[in-house]
Chain A
């Protein structure tokens, strides 16, 4: 337990490490999952951030790291928070090496800020998860969150090439580098990606980028039922077409197939996709504002406050799993909606209804997903749901190594304790 008792004393001490004027006492608006932190520190330098961690570790304090605050209610509910450590004052695009298609950015920069800078050279960090205006690069890495165009570009773990992290003992360490191809040393960038911040605080990262495609079309296919969608997905994937996204929506059952390339190529591919899809349902190609609206609508799942579960299966097992989910939902009187990467077997499931029923439904869903062949992780849900059942589900026999890694990186359990996968 912390030795320092009064919040005032804690505040004075924190400022010595984080930097003058960067620490304040938390207010009601800082509350997360019903937990009000004691202090909020917003260091303005990487060194200040690292020093804050070193101090917190030495004092046995618990730190919760916050970027844009869009995903703090993902995963396990937060426990005691002595210091809410904000990365938002470390928000610069350090360097855009456009000729090399790479950029180094600080963790507190939002995705939208970063992409606004990269757009000057018609490039982007090809991640399109929810809330780009608020979600920071650090948080996106920590949750390995991505969006529809993961189908082409991959998730953050596929794009990150270097990282600087602040360790729990206050040391700043880096791994990887600024070149896209590099196998010198262990790949800590990937280890940190998806760690929910439990190993160290990401202070900056380097990514490989993508050129912004000059043209885009989205083919919308409306079908009677999910059953009709999956043969079409198979056919599209075996067709030689190269969509950048292949997304399903349900209900009603709809497929969105996006093509991004030069104008000729997107027109030709969209035509071909419409032709293939017409055998299965009503298909049309959209461009411009109509296309943009489609994708805005597609992301609306995130705008509501319902429970969201990330469901991952083998692509061929997605349909039977979703059918099972529908049956479970009917039995438990839950409303279900689904959107996501049909081509990859990763979707987001929205659940609405009694918490008890949600817990039963998720547990039953997990029972049909053997480790390694699928998972159902609660991304977001009411604290009592996340308290009632483990948000992560079973992790498997690798967990003991994960525990050992956490123990090595953060032996005092200072940083995001309990927030890491499996409660690390």
Chain B
């Protein structure tokens, strides 16, 4: 990179806030999707919004692209650096700025971890609802960018339902505030489009979140089934009975065995396990829990365990949340997919995945948020065997096709990133994608903000809208405006 540009950057963030050394930059070459790698031109670690603004102004002035990154736990390559760009690592902006219990709000910098938010307010009886499995190590900035979900979003929604306001720096270095502490700030819902924009519109520097009161009662059961179909039937039965549990998670045999080996949750031996959690007022939970048990029995659950204590519940969840990591014990490599299907299509899609497993010879573990139809098939492979990595990639891509065939989505919570940008045309028409990019052009007409992500081909934004400016051709007398 241009030494003058690097010197300017260093002046902004200080010698301790810039990483230029090739070996050190390797740390940042990928996010949680390690197969996509690219070493950044340079990395900076700003400590304040003013530093972020100054970095972006420099980029804007020189046309250098930039990518913001939190903890790098994303699974779609959304934070994969640009080889000729600046990687802005937000981890040093990690302060909790304001806790407002009476109004159930908290304002944090983007580098604060997801679980830290809950920990900060837990003693007051509150928590932050979105709970991705990586919540111990993923940051709020990344959650904001990806619209992260988690196991409890069936009832409580996603990040977009829990972010009230945000301060962001635009690609030209200008600071704007969207939403706020109060609801219904007048204006277009830019917040709704910023959440989940995968860092392609702006860089978040301060986020106000909604806190929820811990429920008075929580009850969790674990039901074991002889087939994933039976477990799927139980899910439909629960929803069909008008019950919206806080969470409904499903694991198949491959995942159960892996979790058992890794963290010993003492799961029963079964083809499928359903983890159902109800929360709310005591009387409601008690009454509905009985219905859920009935539905599971009717769907031929061979065993039902009810968590009697908080420790037991924690054990159930530990088994579920460790599933991804546990697969590392079963397979040297695996590819996590993140498709979504209408919940009622579960049996059909699972059958197709099983057929694909047989056909490809690659083991596929299934762990998913069954309540909202978000599948996480883990395609196992061995990188040392030639051709397996690309086979796994093809299998994973095929699973997405199954999801789209039944009206689903290519991503429920991991994002499109760099990984699935080329899949977007399978889900959206050119016009759809073009329309989305009108938003991009409004925020970042020069495409400096995390370029190459989400969209397979960038839209040309054309003339920057605004007050009339004379075109060079007009000035030269070569053209006139009508």
Q: Contact residues of A with B, CB < 8 Å?
A: 97, 99-102, 122, 144, 154-155, 157-158, 165, 167, 171-175, 177-191, 193-195, 199, 210-214, 234, 237-238, 240-242, 261-262, 264-265, 267-269, 310, 312-317, 344-346, 371-375, 377, 392-393, 395-402, 404-409, 411, 420-422, 424
Contact = CB atoms under 8 A, between A and B. Distances in A.
Interface in B257-291: 280-284, 286-288
What are the 7 A-B residue pairs with the smallest beta carbon separation, nearest first? A190-B192, A372-B180, A240-B216, A211-B242, A265-B284, A173-B435, A404-B442
A1 B480 CA distance: 19
A408 B440 CA distance: 10
B199 to A, nearest CB: 12
Interface string B434-458: 1110111111000000000010000
A158 B189 contact: no
A58 to B, nearest CB: 14
B193 A183 contact: no
Given A101-B239, A179-B342, A312 B183 contact: yes
A178 B369 CA distance: 16
B213 A238 contact: yes
A123 B250 CA distance: 25
Contacts of A167: 435
B226 to A, nearest CB: 22
Contacts of B192: 157, 187, 189-191, 193
Given A171-B431, A314-B182, A408-B442, A191 B465 contact: no
Nearest to B159: A183
A316 B186 contact: no
Contacts of A199: 188
Contacts of B396: none
Interface stretch (B16-24, B26-34, B169-177, B354-362): B169-177
Size bin of chain B's contact surface: 35 or more
A167 B373 CA distance: 31
Contacts of B433: 185
Given A183-B146, A184-B410, A184-B420, 15 more contacts: A157-B192, A171-B434, A173-B434, A185-B433, A187-B193, A188-B435, A237-B213, A240-B281, A261-B283, A312-B184, A314-B100, A314-B103, A315-B103, A404-B465, A421-B187
A393 B374 CA distance: 41
Contact of A242 (B284, B416, B432): B284
B147 interface: yes
A186 B436 contact: yes
Determine which residue in B103, B183, B407, B414 has the highest number of CB atoms from chain A within 10 A of its CB, and name it: B183
5 contacts: A181-B149, A181-B374, A185-B416, A190-B160, A210-B244
B205 interface: no
Contacts of A238: 125, 213
Given A181-B149, A269-B283, A314-B182, A175 B407 contact: no
Contacts of A406: 188
Contacts of B100: 314
Given A99-B239, A185-B433, A402 B283 contact: no
Interface string B150-193: 00010001101100010000100011111111111111111111
B179 to A, nearest CB: 7
A238 to B, nearest CB: 7
A422 B188 CA distance: 9
Interface string B219-250: 00000000000000000100110111000000
B344 A183 contact: no
Contact of A194 (B189, B340, B428): B189
Contacts of B429: 173-174
A234 to B, nearest CB: 7
A373 B165 CA distance: 10
Contact of B184 (A174, A234, A264, A346): A346
Contact of B189 (A180, A190, A237): A190
A185 B459 CA distance: 14
Contact of B428 (A185, A240, A377): A185
B81 interface: no
B465 A392 contact: no
B293 interface: no
Nearest to A160: B192
A243 to B, nearest CB: 9
Contacts of B436: 175, 185-186, 188
A199 B217 CA distance: 44
B409 interface: yes
A183 B196 contact: yes
B284 A261 contact: yes
Contact of A179 (B182, B409, B435): B409
B283 A265 contact: yes
B181 A314 contact: yes
B424 interface: yes
Contact of A398 (B153, B190, B239, B466): B190
A246 B205 CA distance: 33
A421 B188 contact: yes
A154 B439 contact: no
Contact of A315 (B102, B186, B428, B454): B102
